[in-house]
Amino acid sequence: MARFTLDKQKFLLGEPIFCNFVIQNTGARTFSFRYRSPDRILNSDLENEPHFRVTTKSGRPLPDPAPKPCGGAKGSAVYGSVTLPPGQTHTERWLLNQWARFSRPGQYKIKAERRLPLLTAEPGTPEFTTHPAAYALALDDLQIEVTPSTETEIHSVFQPYLKLLDAPAPADVAEPVLVVTNLPQAFFLDKLERLAQAPASEHRWDRSQALEGLARLGTPAAWNAIVKIASGENAAGSPSLAPAAPPTPATEQANDLLRNYAMLLLGERADPAFLPTLLEIIATSSDDLHGEAIRTLGFFHDPRAANALFEKLRSTSSTDRVNAILGLKSMGTRNSIPAILAMLQDPDAEVRQVANFALQGLTRKEIKLSPSAGRAESEHAAHLWRQWWQAHAASFIPARPPACHDW
């Protein structure tokens, strides 16, 4: 038996709203299924995921607050396994605010659905089947009321979660991290900064979640914290991502990935005030950070960003040239086309391939260039592109880039 339940039917505006998934083994055989921490995965097609649809009393759907990252939806998840003997119950808590933005008081209807594959043990063995023996289907219609709230009430609501964040390992902080990063408030900005700036060895949460929480908060102070993380500084201006012990290669890689993600968020926001930080990173940082910063310039419709990208097309580093082409593709202006066309004659085969890919993305025109293309095939493709551009330059309007989350 499987069903969805609520802790209560009345919530304050701004309060975390959890919907519980409860499954009970009412049969005579033990079964197993997959489980993971209850943060929403943006790929809704994954079989194990719950689905929630929230509407007003009149049937109008609430806005979906899920980000649409410019780099594409995160489509994978790491699952654990749950074994449920006969008579036992398993419960998971899903933060409904990840699926619906409750922006005003009112009465709301919730349609909750989940189809969970169940595995059973092979006869005479302790091993579970690799294919589902059955499915547990939960399909429930629920109702809640959201009432007005005061600042004092919201402070009180979040205090238990904020207190749990201070609990030392091995305390499980998954739920409070989920709450404070999805429903950030200005009064716990310091907690979000601490979550984002934790040592890479802290595995109880994903530090990128804290960066997303800062971006959702969206205050100048929150964006300033993201800028400092991208720059490798903490809130006081000293190195933030360096642990007390000498950094290991794994630690350095994890910290660089966090800084890369901070830069991507700055790009998705595309505030011109962030450009000096990115240009400084390009001038001073390691190869991976350097390349991410170059590509991120493509989100900014600013002459400084365009000039830096055009300059990198002349770099002696083929990696710089590749990243500059990708940045110009993201920028999506007609002025980029002639410069990218010229890169089809670059001495490096990867640069030529990326230039052809960028042109196809900008124009929706397909001119093939095989992965093993030599100079002759590349020159032929360049000739076809030049012919196309001569015929279409006067009327050309670049293809609009796909929509992404506006932090």
Is the same domain home to 190 and 143? no
Q: Is 161 a domain residue? A: no
Q: Tokens for 357? A: 């890919």
Contact between 254 and 200 (Cβ < 8 Å): yes
Is the same domain home to 112 and 14? yes
Q: Is 165 a domain residue? A: no
The CATH number of the domain holding residue 316 is: 1.25.10.10
Q: Is 26 a domain residue? A: yes
Is the same domain home to 100 and 186? no
Sign of CA dihedral 301, 303, 308, 309: positive
Q: Is 405 a domain residue? A: no
**C-alpha span between 196 and 9 (Å, rounded):** 34
Q: Is 156 a domain residue? A: no
**C-alpha span between 25 and 2 (Å, rounded):** 9
Is the same domain home to 136 and 194? no
pLDDT value of residue 319:
96
pLDDT value of residue 238:
42
Is the same domain home to 265 and 141? no
Give the domain-ending residue among 130, 148, 166. Answer: 148
Q: At what angle do helices 174-182 and 207-217 cross, to 10 degrees?
A: 30
> Following DSSP, what letter does each residue of 289-358 receive, concatenated?
HHHHHHHHGGG--SHHHHHHHHHHTT-S-HHHHHHHHHHHHHHT-TTHHHHHHHGGG-SSHHHHHHHHHH
pLDDT value of residue 399:
73
Residue 173's nearest CA partner among 182, 164, 181 is 164
pLDDT value of residue 405:
59
Structural domain span for residue 46: 2-148
pLDDT value of residue 237:
42
The CATH number of the domain holding residue 135 is: 2.60.40.2360
Q: Is 309 a domain residue? A: yes
Beta-sheet strand order (sheet of 18-24): 2-6, 18-24, 89-95
**C-alpha span between 389 and 391 (Å, rounded):** 5
Sign of CA dihedral 326, 330, 331, 335: positive
Burial of 249 (0-12, 13-18, 19+ CB in 10 A): exposed
Q: Is 159 a domain residue? A: no
CA count, 13 A, side-chain hemisphere, 2: 18
The total of structural domains in the chain comes to: 2
Q: Is 163 a domain residue? A: no
Q: What is the pLDDT along the chain (407 residues), one digit of tens a residue?
A: 999 999 999 999 999 999 999 999 998 889 999 888 788 887 777 888 899 999 999 999 999 988 766 655 455 677 888 999 999 999 999 999 999 999 999 999 999 999 999 998 866 667 787 789 899 999 999 999 999 999 999 999 999 999 999 999 889 999 999 999 999 999 999 999 999 999 988 889 999 999 999 999 999 999 999 999 999 986 434 455 555 556 788 888 999 999 999 999 999 999 999 999 999 999 998 888 999 999 999 999 899 999 999 999 999 999 999 999 999 999 999 999 999 999 999 999 999 999 999 999 999 899 999 988 888 999 999 999 999 999 999 999 887 766 565 56
Give the domain-ending residue among 148, 165, 198. Answer: 148
